[in-house]
Amino acid sequence: MWWKHPYFKFISAAILALILIFFMRELNMISPLITVFKTLFYPILIAGFLFYIIRPIVDWLAKVFTIPVVVSTSIVFAVIAGILALLGRLLFTTIQNQVNDLSTLPSKLQSMTEELQQEVEKKDMGMLSVQSMQQEVTQYFGDLGQRITTHMTDIFTTVAGAATTLLIIPFLLFFFLKDGSKLVPFLTRGLTGRKNEEAYRVLEKLDRTLSNYIIGQITVATVDGILMYIAYLIIGLDYALVLAIVVVFTAVIPFFGPILGVVPAVFVALVQDPMMVIYVLVALIIVQQLEGNLVAPVVLGQKLNVHPLTIILLLVVSAPLAGFIGMVIAVPLYSATKVLVKSAYRYWHLHEKGTT
């Protein structure tokens, strides 16, 4: 009968899900769920990225020294804490000085503006009103200060949320590393026979896809940051270390990430010496050529099997939808969805053949 067809079951389930969502919305039950999701999303996301980066080291230690995973996880945590403390001690002064110098950047921009204003006053032919421009700037910054004061509560909430996230991430990461190997058996324990094997294979492939992408992209981003730091030192750009760290964080995004990371360097170069902007752009082009022809093919290879045009379209669409975070997770989310859809189709095809 037609009502026994799998398509009818799927459509019925979809309709029931939509009805459930409608009633939950009418009863104002969705808003608390969204709040919970937003609260847990960023800690889980960051801990997940770190999990894929650190897991190979934890597994290697557990295998080589035949120790429990919890012991190898504790050792890795202790080593990472020691490295961070050492780097903080060695680089703290440099980073602090560069950050303090960066805080003087607005005053330098103001000086440049005053010099430009003097030039305009000398060559003003009645087409520009310096006084009106100055009033507009003064009013803008006055309104900006008022807006900052008005939204001080939101700023405090954001800072508190970021601090809470940073505190939660190490605990999440520890338990992800400790119990990560138990996740696949837990998700497949309700299945038996061929279904269990198929589900286990799909989850293993999904895990491998995410691991390949995250480790590869983090490696490429780190290499980009190191190369840009060397380039900044060669051209003599101020705040080289801080600006290179920015590149490491933004270069996690394919294609557009390194460009976004160089934007602060362009502003710094503009204040230091306008000619320096050209040097920064040349350094970016050279580093991108090295990455595209040497680093990325070796590190990433063809592991994802995603066309570059598809990646660009994903980034263009995800940017207005979810901002920076959307651009970070767009490609791995697409790759994971691709694996699940292909596996679901294969499973359905095998099931149909089995029933007939």
Whether 233 and 163 share a structural domain: no
Model confidence at 152: pLDDT above 60 = no
Please state, rounded to an integer, the average pLDDT across all residues of the chain.
79
User: What is the pLDDT averaged over residues 145-161?
Assistant: 57
* CB burial of residue 141 (10 Å; 0-12, 13-18, 19+): exposed
Q: Return the closest-CA partner of residue 301 out of 207, 215, 205.
A: 215
- Which residue range forms the structural domain that includes residue 254? 188-356
Distance CA 135, CA 339 (A): 58
User: What band does 226 get if pLDDT is binned at 50, 70 and 90?
Assistant: very high
Neighbours of 117 (CB within 10 A): 16
Number of domains in the chain: 2
Q: Which residues of 31-66 are buried (b: 16+ CB within 10 A; e: fewer)?
A: eeeeeeeeeeebbbebbbbbbbebbebbeebbeeee
Whether 171 and 303 share a structural domain: no
* Domain contains 123: no
Which range scores top for mean pLDDT: 135-139, 223-227, 303-307? 223-227
User: What pLDDT shows up at residue 230?
Assistant: 95
Whether 113 and 193 share a structural domain: no
Whether 26 and 171 share a structural domain: yes
Domain end (from 181, 203, 219): 181
User: What band does 281 get if pLDDT is binned at 50, 70 and 90?
Assistant: very high
User: What band does 108 get if pLDDT is binned at 50, 70 and 90?
Assistant: low
Distance CA 290, CA 302 (A): 18
| pTM of the complete model | 0.73
User: What is the pLDDT averaged over residues 217-239?
Assistant: 92
User: What is the pLDDT averaged over residues 63-79?
Assistant: 92
Q: Per-residue pLDDT tens for 88-106?
A: 787 777 777 776 776 666 6
Whether 220 and 341 share a structural domain: yes
User: What pLDDT shows up at residue 356?
Assistant: 46
Domain end (from 181, 198, 219): 181
Which range scores top for mean pLDDT: 19-23, 31-35, 56-60, 153-157? 56-60
Model confidence at 109: pLDDT above 50 = yes
User: What band does 140 get if pLDDT is binned at 50, 70 and 90?
Assistant: low
User: What pLDDT shows up at residue 149?
Assistant: 56
Quote the percentage of the chain above a pLDDT of 70. Answer: 74
Model confidence at 347: pLDDT above 90 = no
User: What pLDDT shows up at residue 53?
Assistant: 92
Q: Per-residue pLDDT tens for 305-340?
A: 677 788 888 888 888 888 888 888 888 888 888 888
> How far from each other are the two terminal CA atoms of the chain, in whole angstroms?
15
User: What band does 224 get if pLDDT is binned at 50, 70 and 90?
Assistant: very high
Whether 139 and 223 share a structural domain: no
Whether 205 and 114 share a structural domain: no
Whether 258 and 149 share a structural domain: no
Model confidence at 234: pLDDT above 90 = yes
